[in-house]
Amino acid sequence: MKEFKIAQPKSLDQVTSLLSQKNTDYALMAGGTDLLDEIKNKIIAPEVVIDLKSVPDLSTIKMDKTHVSIDAMTCVADLAENPIIRENFPVLVEAALSLASPQLRNVGTVGGNLCQRPRCWYYRDPDTICRKKGGSRCFALRGRNRYHAIFGGGMCYIVHPSDLAPALISLDAEITINGLEGKKNILRLEDFFTLPQNNVRKENVLEARQVLSEIRIPLPKNGSKSTYYKFKERGTWDFAVVSAAISGVISGGVFRDIKIVCGGLAPIPWRLKKAEDFIKGKNLTEEVIKQGAKEALTDARPLEENTYKMGLVEAVLYTAISSMI
Ligand SMILES: Cc1cc2nc3c(=O)[nH]c(=O)nc-3n(C[C@H](O)[C@H](O)[C@H](O)COP(=O)(O)OP(=O)(O)OC[C@H]3O[C@@H](n4cnc5c(N)ncnc54)[C@H](O)[C@@H]3O)c2cc1C
């Protein structure tokens, strides 16, 4: 592992002004559970690591009349235990508790979880220079692709690893991004993530001089329900093979409004809009839910080893939605 220096800024403005200095290669570190692996695997070799833990007051959860706001440095365990989150957003608690191990949840942060890099074995292999690392090929296309994308691939077939992202998108979360000189940019979390065809080296629109500072979720409407179901191979910690975050308003056994956002399927958290449109307004029978999943899967393009994910999507949606009625 290449040696690096640590910078310990005392405010977000100091963070962005450090990032704006030319000729130095910086990396942001929150909990470091992903970043340090990236450095050890020689995927990145920053000269200076900016330790966001040195910035005070970046890990609070607050509620006002319309929203709940979560600071980016809130650790995943605190998110899952917070009474405001537990009362209002079951999908977020379930996603947080499904993620990694208790030790990692105590260290890993919400911001770091949204900005973490992919787990594709070609990308993580120090000796493989795939397209995401500046090479000319995606090795998953013709190689071992059991865990790879069935939607949104093409240039690169990673799946987005975050469990919190599908949950937060299903809840219509917005994020705040801080740039130079106190400039703040607010955008929908759904618009934060970007497909490989836009920039194969990145998974989101964050620029080199920016830092994610806050996540805001609108308070739930009357009749709202939400859940997260994650299919993983190992009973202990594991990333999602397929997961689904479902949020919506139900009355009389019918979804008046529904958002379905999946993990494990695509390079970004993937919304199943065709399933949402099919299910909305109908009595929730097994047939309706399964047909909704089938509608969404008409756009899927599985690879040689991951056709099994098609059946899993149906099973995961059925399990998640039937638990809500
Ligand atoms: C063994 C293991 C199992 C795991 N299992 C799961 C799992 O099941 N589900 C899941 O979702 N995750 C899983 N993870 C990933 C883990 O959840 C994340 O590593 C963690 O949440 C990231 O948080 P962090 O604070 O440690 O991020 P860091 O490692 O500090 O940062 C991750 C990335 O985000 C960037 N970053 C961090 N904070 C900010 C910010 N505020 N603004 C801009 N960029 C930022 C960093 O530069 C870095 O590129 C696992 C990790 C490990 C090691």
Q: Express each pLDDT in 217-239 by its tens digit.
A: 999 999 999 999 999 999 889 99
Determine whether the shortest distance from the Cβ of 159 to ligand 1 is under 6 A.
no
Question: Residue 87 pLDDT more than 90?
Answer: yes
Above 90 in pLDDT, residue 181?
no
Instruction: Check if the beta carbon of residue 180 is closer than 8 Å to that of residue 137.
Output: no
Does the CB atom of residue 76 touch ligand 1 within 6 A? yes
- pTM (predicted TM-score): 0.97
User: Distance between CA atoms of 221 and 251, rounded to whole angstroms?
Assistant: 12
Measure 105 CA to ligand 1 centroid, in angstroms: 10
Ligand 1 centroid – CA 240 distance (Å): 15
Atom of ligand 1 nearest to the CA of 232: 8
Asked if residue 243 has its Cβ within 6 Å of ligand 1, the reply is no
How far, in Å, from the CA of 76 to the mean position of ligand 1?
A: 10
| pLDDT score recorded for residue 44 | 95
pLDDT in tens, 269-285: 999 999 999 999 999 99
CA of 302 to the centre of ligand 1 (A): 27
Q: Is the CB of 72 under 6 A from ligand 1?
A: yes
CB of 58 closer than 6 angstroms to any ligand 1 atom: no
Instruction: Report the pLDDT averaged over residues 60-70.
Output: 98
**180 has pLDDT over 90:** no
> What pLDDT band is residue 146 in, cutting at 50, 70 and 90?
very high
pLDDT at position 90 is 98
Q: What is the pLDDT of residues 93-126, one digit of tens each?
A: 999 999 999 999 999 999 999 999 999 999 999 9
Query: Closest Cα to residue 239, out of 230, 250, 247, 248?
Result: 230
Smallest CA-to-CA distance from 313 within 236, 229, 248, 190 is with 229
Q: Give which of 275, 277, 259, 276 is closest to 310, Cα–Cα.
A: 275
Tokens representing 264? 């494990």
CA of 233 to the centre of ligand 1 (A): 20
**pLDDT tens digit sequence for 7-42:** 999 999 999 999 988 888 999 999 999 999 999 999
Write down the pLDDT at residue 94. 98
| Mean pLDDT (whole number) for 54-73 | 97
Residue 209 has pLDDT above 90, yes or no: no
CB 170 near ligand 1, within 6 Å: no
| Ligand 1: centre distance to CA 257 (Å) | 31
The CATH class of 61-115+167-218 is alpha beta
What's residue 1's pLDDT? Answer: 82
DSSP string, 1-69: ----EEE--SSHHHHHHHHT-TT--EEEESS-TTHHHHHHTTS---SEEEEGGGSSS---EEE-SSEEE
**Would you kindly state where each structural domain of the chain is located, as residue ranges?**
61-115+167-218, 224-322
Fold of 224-322: Enolase-like; domain 1 (3.30.390)
Model confidence pLDDT, tens digit, residues 237-248: 999 999 999 999
Residue 235: phi and psi, rounded to 5, are -70, -30
**What is the percentage of the chain residues whose pLDDT exceeds 90?**
95
Q: What is the pLDDT of residues 293-315, one digit of tens each?
A: 999 999 999 999 999 999 999 99
Cβ of 214 closer than 6 Å to ligand 1, yes or no, is no
Tokens 């989101």 belong to 204
